[in-house]
Structure 1
Amino acid sequence: MPSAKNLGRGPSVVHEANGRIRLRGRLFADPALDHAYVEAMIMALPGVIEARLNAGAACLVARHDGRPGVREAILAALGDLPDEAFLPGRRRKREGLDKAAALGLLALGAKRLPRPLGGLLSWLAAAPVIAGGLETLINRGLKVEVLDAAAVSALLLRGDYRAAGAIVALLALGRHLEQTSEEKSSALLKSLLAVGDEDVSVERDGAEIRQPAAKLAIGDIVVCGPGDKIVVDGQVTWGQAELNQSSITGEARPVAVEVGDRVISGATVQDGKIKIRAQQVGRHTAMARVGSFIETAVRHQSEPEKRSARLADRLTPVSLGLAGGLLLLTGDTRRAVSVLTVDFGCALKLAAPLAVKTAMYNAGRRGVLIKGARALEALSRVDAVVFDKTGTITHGDLEVTDVVPLDGMSAEELLALAAGAEEHYSHPVGRAVVRAARRRGLPQPALSQVDFIVAHGVSAYVADQRVLVGSLHFLAEDEGVDCSTAEGLCASLRDQGKSILYVGHENHLEGVIALRDRLRPEAGAVLAGLRAAGVEELVVLTGDHRQTAQALARDLPQLDAVRWELRPEDKAAIVAELQARGRVVAFVGDGVNDAPALVTADVGVCMPAGAELARDAAQVVLLQDDLWGLLSARQLAARFQATVGQSFFAAIGLNCAIMLAAAAGRLSPLGAALLHNLSTIGILGHAAAANLRPAETGPRALPQERVS
């Protein structure tokens, strides 16, 4: 599909006033144009408040904040839409409620008009339905539109203008209600995009200045007071505040934050004042990323969606054949037409996409970003969950508990030496050591030739002498340092659930540093909840020593296994091993070294503070720094799968019953059409409502405000 620019169909401005711009162009009436994509793309532009596309009027209306450059950005975006904005073969003609009402009035008055006039008006009203059926037959084969055209044509040929007009009106009303349901589900998702692009307060050289949020950079200190919307993901560095996070998690009650807590974009300061060091800005913030997930949800179908669509297409010839068979056997046109008014396509094809969008919206409101239908479907089938220990089952916020020199150094010298080597290594262990040294005011030695060995340790030079800081495997096996003198001491520390950092200097062991990570308080309850939700195997992977890992296993009896002393490549291999046993595996991690396992797993789940690579590799991203979101996501995915199954069987069962009643002569064409449309709307309503209910357990299983 060529872009709008190549087609020369760029829109023109027809009205503009007070930050509201109305554009018209043939582009907007293109039936292959993806409305949700275009609206989300425009809403994601800095300064845009709202965007609405009306295909019937071939126009788009956008509201913006009036800042320089916003208008031009909107025009530029619409003047060269990407290929992804078009969906070949997808017909998007909008059916208005007024059209359905007019057709209904025409049907009611058909009998009262002179027969030639009533017949002419009825044929004219039905012409779009008949033309659509012929076009579908020629271009796409036997589809639902062919059944509709055949039913209406047969009634018109019989001279039953009232029934024909009523069915045409019902078809228009049905399409209007179906499109309205679809648009509302898309609007729910798009509502999560509103992160805000207003001016914000930033601290510069001890003073507060105002600047556009679009100019924020990572590391900036953003100052937020009452009423301010948080537009960055980051960590509180000063102050205390109560945040309203209802637009993110669905929690109506405010959440207290203080120094050290992580906050995400989209929340509003209700009371207090805080300073936030920005860790993600602009399109990289948690809520801004929802735009790409809308595209994923629209374009990539889950297996249940594909199966439903295939079955709907296969049943169309069956309906046509049944109607034809009845006509040949009984000669009863009325029965045959009644059968033709019943089709399986609407409910089967629309219920699953509607369920996908509402489930994604519900998850997003509960602090979980699920990247589309495939992730939802896979998450519902997961029967094994594998956790990387640090930062997931534990907080990943390590504290130094013991500094034990073994070869003449003081504890302060040993800690300073280790902190010097670890200072530029962005890892929980390194950060904990550096933090402990700074608290004690220890000067750090000048280093050179610093090399980081992922998941092993650090090698550096101090005054031409090599310093090694890392795991037992790194020092003893890779570098040949004799660590036997610390065996008894380290065994005792590990029995206490502590991790050990070995410090070597010129090929001999200088001492060890013990660190302890805090188990997440909700870990046990979440593991139990996952087990109750159908997960059969729970595994934790760690690079820690056996004794430290076993201490964790004692604290969490819900676990089936803990694997220790692992390298990054081992995690992906263990995931593949579980898959080879027939498991559907979810992997939960947050680091760069977790990316291979996140990609290997059937579902990758990334914690909120995860590295960018891990966030991109994962299919599910948790926005709150706890594990409740994982349980909520699993429950919502299971409900989505159940809803799709219920919708599938309801569509088959109800339509079969209506079709059999029509074939037996118990239903008129109008009665069959009415029951068919009512059942379809009911199924779609159930698909939407079921997936908007909150999750069953956990602190975020709270009532949501009503969405209109």
Structure 2
Amino acid sequence: MKFKIKHEITGRIRIHMDQKKMTYQQADTLLYYLNDLPGVQEAKVYERTADAMIVYTGDRADLIKSLKVFTYDSVEVPDAVLVNSGRELNAVYQEKLMMKVLMRAGSKLFIPAPVRAVITSVKSIKYLYAGARSLAKGKLEVSVLDATAIGVSVLRKNYDTAGSVMFLLGIGEILEEWTHKKSVGDLARSMSLNITKVWLKNEDQEVLVDATQIQPGDRVVVHMGNVIPFDGIVETGEGMVNQASMTGEAQPVRKADGGYVYAGTVLEEGELEIRVKETGSSTRFEKIVTMIEESEKLKSSVESKAERLADRLVPYTLAGTALTYLITRNATKAIAVLMVDFSCALKMAMPISVLSAIREAQTHHITVKGGKYLEAVAEADTIVFDKTGTLTEARPTVKAIVPFIDESKENLLRLAACLEEHFPHSMAKAVVRAAKEHGLDHEEMHSKVEYIVAHGISSSVEGKKVIIGSSHFVFDDEGCQVEEGYKEAFEALPQEYSHLYLAIEGRLAAVICVEDPLRPEAKDMVNALKASGIKNVVMMTGDSERTAAAIAKRVGVDTYFAEVLPEDKAAFVEAEKAAGRKVIMVGDGINDSPALSAANVGIAISDGAEIAREIADITIGAEDLTQLVILKLLSNHLIKRIHCNYRKIVGINTGLILLGVFGMIPPTTSALLHNVSTLAISLDSMKNLLD
């Protein structure tokens, strides 16, 4: 496609597409294409001017070549990106703000004062009605103060004051609504499904296919611990489904033949074969938005406290107005008190602060499901880490296969991969990846696969029982034995690796040695967390004491526990909470889900098990653990901003009331300064906390 280079410096280029107007869909398509190009670090597309800004690290010539071959029709963009991008929402609210300001300025310049008076009187009816309705319910809320201030101004024929109050209230409403909807939209997009592969039931065989190939009427199989990819009806099977993403209720619900399941819910136990009813992504997005908006999860205790305080202050403001009039017998001074209230700023600034913080977290690839979790992170003094896939690399690799029967390494790896591909865990993914790298096809050759949480997998191949998992599962629970001639090899297994044990018919068949390297940023991350207010850093793992001790020493944790089960992690978290500590749990696997639920804040790694992400309150990207430090600092700064806002609101409004009572400023100025200060505090609350 044709374009012009408007401006360019090293690593940054601004282009103009050769078209008069760019639609929202075209802008989203171009942005999706640019972000997908190798070497592009950041891209922005401006649909109003048909411009694009690109920050890149790759070769300039390659970028220009990619831009030249771009066409809107040649890019396949997921429906969810186009339907729910939020671009149109931003444009709508920008236009609302501009129109509000232009209408206000235009009315003062071109509309005669008598006509403005009529318009102001008509507009005031909405506020007067809201105040009257509040009183009819027996409540003294902020709407009563707004109605009283506007009503008194209109009765005194002070139409400019009434107009200014309504204008600033309108601006505040638009900003709050915009911020809220954008934050909810960002949150919903991050919670929307990102499933690329599903198990399609084809006759009597399960085949792994692209999710985009699934049509209504197809049958898909969902294994334990996985997200249900589509709305549908259960054909066969039985399971417990966590529907928190749709209903807000974390208690799992039993689903069996004929039951209806929803996309995005998680199968905690069992296995389901589902007849697909709906495959569209927009329906899922709308359901999430509705859930978020109706949920109290967005409310932190400081927000709720601000709202309650705002409503409790209304009677005092009205009483102060009456008392001022009784003492001074001066209506102007009394109205000056009425024109200033603490509640307006409290109700506006606090939610905007929290929602803006959630939005800012999104820019760092951190998904926060509600403001109260940021508050809990700020208060936390203890953090508990799972080891595998959390403190260690999210992509462990198979380094060796040690046979313990007369069978080739390739066949043993093929068998292990055939079982492991059904379950989402970093160690399982390592086995599947190793088989793929060796060119080993592993067609379904086993019966139903059963997953035992935190232990391993059990199935049957050619009538023989096959299990794979931890040492505790294979030797203690299943009673498997090592053949006499292999005991020396068993004792010589390399201790620097994690071990997966494969057994057939009660005999150890192979040990798969998996390298689980420590994340390079882990030690610095732990030190930074301690500097930000975390007092106790704990590591819990199912690995051996020797492995756990070595990792703990390198990372610098305060305490570690080895060979633990999921219930041990959850019990430790509960004990810490009972001791009065605020606990963060960080994990990525199915076995971490009990502890994630038990903690004050559960944090999941983005490429971990779906059930972990579903249960967790916050999800961070898998690339860099320093996002935990960003999250902690963001939460700390949010609480500081909220307390700072409290002080600003109380100080400014108290000062305005005193100036009005002593007759130093008239009610018009008092109202103007109050609303301007409220707007200024709200706008300041929208700024990024970490800039």
In structure 2, the residue matched to 1:683 is 681
Question: Could you say if the C-alpha distance between residues 123 and 460 of structure 1 is closer, same or farther in structure 2, counting changes exceeding 3 Å?
Answer: closer
Of the three residues 175, 180, 187, the one matched with 1:181 is: 175
Three-state SS of the structure 1 residue aligned to 2:546 is helix
Alignment of 1:19-168 (within 5 A): 96-97=100-101, 100-101=104-105, 109=113, 129-139=127-137, 141-154=139-152, 160-161=156-157, 164-168=158-162
Alignment of 1:328-343 (within 5 A): 328-343=326-341
Three-state SS of the structure 2 residue aligned to 1:452 is strand
Deviations 1:222-275 (A, max 9, x none): xxxxxxxxxx9xxxxxxxxxxxxxxxxxxxxxxxxxxxxxxxxxxxxxxxxxxx
- Which deviates the most, 487-496 or 559-568? 487-496
In structure 2, the residue matched to 1:316 is 314
What is the distance in 2 between the residues matched to 1:133 and 1:107? Answer: 28
Query: What is the TM-score normalised by the length of structure 1?
Result: 0.64
In structure 2, the residue matched to 1:393 is 391
In structure 1, the residue matched to 2:478 is 479
In structure 2, the residue matched to 1:353 is 351
Question: Could you say if the C-alpha distance between residues 312 and 581 of structure 1 is closer, same or farther in structure 2, counting changes exceeding 3 Å?
Answer: same
What is the distance in 1 between the residues matched to 2:280 and 2:524? Answer: 35
What is the distance in 2 between the residues matched to 1:349 and 1:623? Answer: 33
Shift of 1:104: 5.8
What is the distance in 2 between the residues matched to 1:119 and 1:504? Answer: 87
Question: Could you say if the C-alpha distance between residues 308 and 448 of structure 1 is closer, same or farther in structure 2, counting changes exceeding 3 Å?
Answer: closer
- Contact 1:523/1:627 (<8 A) preserved: yes
What is the distance in 2 between the residues matched to 1:556 and 1:592? Answer: 24
Question: Could you say if the C-alpha distance between residues 538 and 508 of structure 1 is closer, same or farther in structure 2, counting changes exceeding 3 Å?
Answer: same
In structure 2, the residue matched to 1:26 is none
Three-state SS of the structure 2 residue aligned to 1:172 is helix
In structure 1, the residue matched to 2:543 is 544
Question: Could you say if the C-alpha distance between residues 315 and 572 of structure 1 is closer, same or farther in structure 2, counting changes exceeding 3 Å?
Answer: same
1:616 aligns with 2:614: yes
Shift of 1:460: 4.4
Deviations 1:450-480 (A, max 9, x none): 5432321334455655444332212332123
What is the distance in 2 between the residues matched to 1:154 and 1:106? Answer: 26
Alignment of 1:199-598 (within 5 A): 215=212, 283=281, 291=289, 295=293, 300-405=298-403, 422=420, 424=422, 426-433=424-431, 435-436=433-434, 451-461=450-460, 464-481=463-480, 495-496=495-496, 498-509=497-508, 512-557=511-556, 559-598=557-596
Question: Could you say if the C-alpha distance between residues 369 and 510 of structure 1 is closer, same or farther in structure 2, counting changes exceeding 3 Å?
Answer: closer
Question: Could you say if the C-alpha distance between residues 510 and 335 of structure 1 is closer, same or farther in structure 2, counting changes exceeding 3 Å?
Answer: same
Three-state SS of the structure 1 residue aligned to 2:652 is helix
Alignment of 1:647-666 (within 5 A): 647-666=645-664
- Contact 1:338/1:663 (<8 A) preserved: yes
- Structure 1 unaligned runs (5+)? 1-17, 21-42, 55-59, 62-91, 111-116, 196-201, 203-212, 219-231, 233-280, 695-708
- Contact 2:383/2:536 (<8 A) preserved: yes
Shift of 1:506: 4.4
What is the distance in 1 between the residues matched to 2:80 and 2:401? Answer: 50
What is the distance in 2 between the residues matched to 1:19 and 1:317? Answer: 50
- Contact 1:104/1:165 (<8 A) preserved: no
Shift of 1:597: 2.1
In structure 1, the residue matched to 2:605 is 607
What is the distance in 2 between the residues matched to 1:422 and 1:93? Answer: 55
What is the distance in 2 between the residues matched to 1:99 and 1:449? Answer: 68
What is the distance in 2 between the residues matched to 1:685 and 1:424? Answer: 49
Shift of 1:293: 8.1
What code does the residue aligned with 1:169 have? G
What is the distance in 2 between the residues matched to 1:409 and 1:360? Answer: 54
Three-state SS of the structure 2 residue aligned to 1:572 is helix
The sequence identity of aligned pairs, in percent, is: 33
Question: Could you say if the C-alpha distance between residues 106 and 333 of structure 1 is closer, same or farther in structure 2, counting changes exceeding 3 Å?
Answer: farther
What is the distance in 1 between the residues matched to 2:641 and 2:386? Answer: 32
- Contact 1:606/1:614 (<8 A) preserved: yes
- Structure 2 unaligned runs (5+)? 1-21, 25-78, 191-196, 198-209, 216-228, 230-278
Of the three residues 162, 171, 174, the one matched with 2:165 is: 171
Three-state SS of the structure 1 residue aligned to 2:687 is helix
Question: Could you say if the C-alpha distance between residues 489 and 319 of structure 1 is closer, same or farther in structure 2, counting changes exceeding 3 Å?
Answer: farther
What code does the residue aligned with 2:342 have? F
Shift of 1:579: 1.4
Question: Could you say if the C-alpha distance between residues 306 and 408 of structure 1 is closer, same or farther in structure 2, counting changes exceeding 3 Å?
Answer: same
- Contact 1:214/1:282 (<8 A) preserved: no
How many matched pairs?
A: 533
What is the distance in 1 between the residues matched to 2:520 and 2:677? Answer: 46
Three-state SS of the structure 1 residue aligned to 2:585 is strand
Shift of 1:326: 1.8
Question: Could you say if the C-alpha distance between residues 553 and 138 of structure 1 is closer, same or farther in structure 2, counting changes exceeding 3 Å?
Answer: same
Shift of 1:155: 5.3
What is the distance in 1 between the residues matched to 2:434 and 2:147? Answer: 77
Shift of 1:346: 1.5
- Contact 1:405/1:512 (<8 A) preserved: yes
What is the distance in 2 between the residues matched to 1:102 and 1:442? Answer: 73
Shift of 1:526: 1.9
In structure 2, the residue matched to 1:208 is none
What is the distance in 2 between the residues matched to 1:368 and 1:286? Answer: 21
Question: Could you say if the C-alpha distance between residues 188 and 146 of structure 1 is closer, same or farther in structure 2, counting changes exceeding 3 Å?
Answer: closer
